[in-house]
Amino acid sequence: MCNIKIHETQPLLNLKLDRVMQDIVYKLVPGLQESEDKRIREFYQSRGLERVIQPATEDSVPDPAGLPYTSFDHSKAHFYRYDEQVSLCLERLSSSSGKDKNKLTLQQKYVRCSARAEVRHLRRVLCHRLSVEKHQVQMLFNNESLPDHMTMKQLWLSHWFGKSQPLVLHYTIKDKRGR
């Protein structure tokens, strides 16, 4: 595999550093990042060279050891893009008064979300889509109220494991006056 020529005239053209893979390896192997940084410093010091540093930007912070690094932007840290996904079917629990059932029923009852999503997130989505207040919506599984802090993975493993997708959840909408 290593002897395969990638490009005739510019063999190093498409080689690039994989930062995501590097971060994963650094997290999995304890002490690897520190030893790599130490080896880089020793390499430059043994040859009497100064380390080539990219031009400083406003978010670049110097490292006490002399290595430049960029401050971590937590707003772009993780978008749940690569999380395990759970398919859900959100159905309104039948009530005796069916007069406003059609008005407060979801148009699209099937949802796919991260396994880390919590019941509170589903309630928030339901409130937004149905234009009701948060205290009016209650999430249920087998006619039992679900706690807001429960994740979809916990729910799946404890109540739905071994069954086919989608996981069926019910919701009720309380009257405004009946808090």
Model confidence pLDDT, tens digit, residues 13-54: 767 777 888 888 888 998 999 999 899 888 888 888 777 655
- Is residue 136 left, alpha or beta, with left meaning phi > 0 and alpha meaning psi from -120 to 50? alpha
User: pLDDT of 154-176, one tens digit each?
Assistant: 998 988 888 888 999 999 988 77
Domain 85-173: give its CATH architecture: Roll (3.10)
* pTM, entire model: 0.51
Q: What distance in Å separates the CA atoms of residue 39 and residue 125, rounded to the nearest whole number?
A: 50
Any idea where the domains of the chain sit in the sequence?
19-76, 85-173
Q: What distance in Å separates the CA atoms of residue 135 and residue 154, rounded to the nearest whole number?
A: 23
Question: Minimal CA–CA distance to 95: which of 19, 9, 179, 171?
Answer: 171
User: pLDDT of 79-101, one tens digit each?
Assistant: 666 778 899 999 998 765 555 55
Asked if residue 152 lies in contact with residue 114, where contact means CB atoms within 8 angstroms, the answer is yes
* Residue owning tokens 């019941």: 119
Q: What distance in Å separates the CA atoms of residue 85 and residue 102, rounded to the nearest whole number?
A: 29
